[in-house]
Amino acid sequence: MRLNLEELYTRFRRHAVRLTRQRAAIYTALAETTSHPTADDLYQAVKRQHPMISRNTVYYTLGVLRHAGLVQEVNVGHEVARYDGNVMEHHHLICLGCRQIVDIMDEALNELAVSDRQTKGFHILGHRVEFHGYCAGCQ
């Protein structure tokens, strides 16, 4: 999904995040992919357009964006965190071979619930469903 500057500004303002050129580049790179990249993947992608950007800036910006609810950290069986620009409620298919993560948009999965008897007083704020297996390329 290609975002224009006005849409970026609106999203950042809605979440009380100051928009800078580097933050815009990092967020746009993440919003334009469904590959769930690592911070280093994003650094390599953004560095092409912003050669002076540092890894620390990428890590810091991802923290700011995650805290603001603009991105999600996806760490499902990986050595390093991966990031998702899709913050709509969704779930994942995870390949145990190549570690690919694929988004699943399924309303039925969004409606899953645990009975009050089973929660034992636990206040549930949300859930994430992950299916683990092998993609077509790894089978």
Considering the domain architecture, whether residues 71 and 112 belong to the same structural domain is answered as no
Q: Does any domain span residue 139? A: no
* Domain-ending residue, one of 48, 65, 84: 84
Q: Does any domain span residue 129? A: yes
Helix (H/G/I), strand (E/B), else coil: 14: helix
**What is the tally of structural domains in the chain?**
2
Q: Does any domain span residue 72? A: yes
Rg (CA), the chain: 17
Considering the domain architecture, whether residues 55 and 118 belong to the same structural domain is answered as no
Burial class (CB in 10 A: 0-12, 13-18, 19+), 19: middle
Question: In the structure encoding, which two tokens stand for residue 25, read together?
Answer: 């580049």
Please state, rounded to an integer, the average pLDDT across all residues of the chain.
89
What is the tens place of the pLDDT at every residue in 68-124? 888 998 876 667 889 998 888 899 998 999 988 999 999 999 898 888 888 888 888
* Helical spans, DSSP H, in the chain: 5-14, 21-31, 39-47, 55-68, 107-110, 116-119
